[in-house]
Structure 1
Amino acid sequence: MGAITLLPGAARAQAGFPAQPLRLIVPFAPAGTTDLTARLVAQGLGERLGQTVVVENRPGAGAMVGSEAVARSTADGYTLVMSNIASHAISPSLYPTGAVRYDPVRDFTHIALVTSNPSVWVANLRSGIADVAALLQRARSQRGGLDVASSGAGSSNHLLIVQLAQVAGVSLNHVPYRGAGPAMTAVIAGEVPAMSDSLPSAAAHVRQGSVRAIAMSSETRHPGFPEVPTFREQGLDIVSTSWFGISGPAGLPAAVVARLNAEIRAVLATQEVRARFAEFGGTPGDMDAAAYGRFVAAEFARWAPVVKASGAEAG
């Protein structure tokens, strides 16, 4: 009887949502993959919901600042976060006990997977680094090792730098920035010679020729960038994929979750969005909320021992 009486209320909640604009928190600086993905989806989602979806950048602490803000927000569906491999799989294990003030599984309602993509390593045009062999040679010959930038501590690209150093037996110094945009600017200017970046945020720079792409972390060459060899082709067994989704605080009403999941997946299925993802190297997701929740839990469980074994630390 109780379940039957709850159904009309749930239906009304779904029918009345949303009654005001939504905030989509991006826990990284503008111009990075998370930001580009958020703005692409927010536009279509807002049109389908009939409300503006405002994208707000709140970078810091390996994507944990913005993520924590959403975990502590009211569970009404109006404050969401671009959950990602950094904020919900890597950073919670990378930072010391006490620094992480949320549980990536229990403190969120995971709504939908948006996209996944490989990483690409790029080098400054004047660095003389044309491929992975040249990068490793520079790292071996340069006193103190080679500086390599990323969008920040806790990102998958941070761990990729650690992994490459271990696999190749060289010294690579992680140089974290507050987002992929500032890091890419530093590489173009020659402040750092190379960068590990997610493909979507690097794609335009690679196509414009403002940086040189030297390796892709996909299993095979990416169809959008067939000229860029993989790490495996260059003798290193390294494969890595980043992912991005949309989540809210724990306890979101089921009807709201169902509505958001359906609308997000509808946006991802449009020809326009699929074409944009193909353009910058992303693969659209298609999971219901329960599947995405299981996916995030599995990724957190997968990366925790990797972070510990790597010896990587935030900073």
Structure 2
Amino acid sequence: MTVIKRRTLLAGATMLPLPALAQAAWPARPIRLVVPFAPGGTTDIVARILAANLQERLGQPVVSENRPGAGATLASAQVAQAAPDGYTLVVSNSASHGISPTLFRNVRYDSMADFTHIALAATTSTAIVVNPRYEAQSMADLIRIGRMRPDGLDFAISGHGTTTHLLGMRIGLATGIRMNPILYRGAGPALIDVIAGTVGLFVDGLPSSIGHLRDGTLRAIAVADAQRNRHLPNIPTLAEAGLPGMTSYSWFGVSGPKGMAPAVVERLNTEIRAILQLPAVRQRYNELTADAPDMTPAQYAAFIEEEVRVWGEVVRATGATAD
């Protein structure tokens, strides 16, 4: 009788569904965290902070892998097609999931339908910055001068499909100024030309420009925050400059292919939210001028859905394109 019972239990164990067995063992091997941008930028820095801390907490290697290209859509499309087993993740961000799917033609994924959104990891502010010798030294100057020029104003952008690109176009739409984006391959090359005076105006993420603003090689004339930014308390918001509701943030999170196991998603979300509260991470975020939001997977998904709606409206209204 004992033998029969033991055989029955063993038979029942072998009939557990494979996904349940895999889920119970997760993570059992290294995890890839794909970064849709080149090394060195804010997206890459956030990814490396997450990878190092997740590796320690999960007990498996978490490898940060840079795969830039096509407005951050190349890497995102590849992750969307990966197995939803929790071993291939992507740093979803304002470009790859908020803007590029509308701005670029033939993007091979849907920001909502093709992904499991796990956690929002960081947000950073956007500033309107100028060369100190640029003719406009305030938003009022910029609007006045821009309206006088039929050919509009040139402004540097660090990539198509970024919030900085679309914010510049949105400012033009609100003020009646023709805004001409000058594309650079990243914030670094753009900053070199703006500091040199080749292009006088730059819509930039605060992490890359804050050092230059502090040493005086650049000047901020507005920030795209709802309130004044704690790192630039003397700089007015765009709302204060007469453009109400004009806010813009770059954001960075973690997503995976659609269909990931809820238990794996919950584990990752819990670990990421705990990492964001670590004193060393908070200090590093402060250096980056980044904030650490606290969101559940459902809240992060809703956040992305709203970003897609807002920036889609801007793309359609301005006729912005990356092609």
Normalised by the shorter chain, which TM-score bucket? 0.7 to 0.9
Over 3 Å counting, the alpha-carbon distance change for 1:101 and 1:22 in structure 2 is: same
> SS state of the match for residue 240, structure 2?
helix
1:120-161 residue CA offsets vs partner (Å, 9 max, x unmatched)? 111223434422233334534567322112221111111111
Superposed, which structure 2 residues align to 1:33-44 within 5 Å?
A: 33-44=42-53
Aligned-partner residue type, residue 95 of structure 1: F
AA in 2 matched with 1:64: T
**Counterpart position of 1:282:** 290
The offset of 1:196, in angstroms, is 1.0
Length-normalised TM-score, structure 1:
0.87
Shift of 1:27: 1.6
Task: Identify the residue that residue 59 of structure 2 maps to in structure 1.
Answer: 50
Q: Is the 8 A contact 1:110 1:293 kept in 2?
A: yes
Q: Which one has the largest radius of gyration?
A: 2
Compute the displacement of 1:83 (Å).
Answer: 0.7
Match of 2:273 among 261, 265, 268: 265
- The change in CA–CA distance for 1:304 and 1:47 in structure 2 (over 3 A counts) is same
Alignment match of 1:311 (pick from 315, 319, 322):
319
Render the CA deviation track for 1:151-179: whole Å, top value 9, x for unaligned: 21111111111111122222221123333
Report the Cα offset of residue 292 of structure 1.
1.6
Q: Per the alignment, do residues 287 and 205 of structure 1 end up closer, same or farther by CA in structure 2, a change over 3 Å counting? A: same
Q: 1:245 & 1:163 partners in 2: Cα distance?
A: 24
| The 10-residue stretch of structure 1 (100-109 or 219-228) with the greater mean CA deviation from structure 2 | 219-228
Paired position in structure 1 for 2:110: 103
Deviation at 1:195, TM superposition (A): 1.3
In structure 1, what is the equivalent of residue 103 of structure 2? 94
Q: % of aligned pairs identical?
A: 50
Question: What TM-score, normalized by structure 2, do the two folds share?
Answer: 0.85
Aligned-residue CA RMSD (Å):
2.5
1:191-206 matches, cutoff 5 A = 191-206=198-213
2: distance between equivalents of 1:203 and 1:250? 37
User: 2 CA distance for matches of 1:37 and 1:125?
Assistant: 30
The AA in structure 2 aligned to 1:93 is T
Give the 3 Å change call, closer, same or farther, for CA 277–66 of structure 1 in structure 2: same
Q: Deviations over 1:55-98 (max 9, x none)?
A: 222222222112112112232222211111221122111223xx
Question: Does 1:147 find its partner at 2:154?
Answer: yes
1:168 lines up with 2:175 in the alignment = yes
Q: Is the Cα–Cα contact under 8 Å of residues 206 and 212 in structure 1 kept in the other structure?
A: yes
Classify the secondary structure of the residue corresponding to 1:233. Answer: coil
Residues 166 and 311, structure 2, Cα contact 8 Å, conserved in 1: no
- Deviation of residue 306 (structure 1)? 3.1
Deviation at 1:239, TM superposition (A): 2.1
Distance in 1 of aligned mates of 2:292 and 2:121: 6
CA contact (8 A) 2:116 2:257 kept: yes
Equivalent pairs counted in the alignment come to 309
**C-alpha offsets along residues 199-252 of structure 1, whole Å, 9 cap, x if unaligned?**
233323323433222210012211122122211222222222332211111122
Q: What secondary structure, in the 3-state scheme, does the structure 1 residue paired with 2:236 have? A: coil
**Which one of 298, 301, 305 corresponds to residue 293 of structure 1?**
301
Is 127-136 or 110-119 further displaced after alignment? 127-136
- Structure 2 spans left out of the alignment, 5+ residues: 1-11
1:59-138 equivalent positions in 2, closer than 5 A = 59-96=68-105, 99-138=106-145
1:226 is aligned to: 233
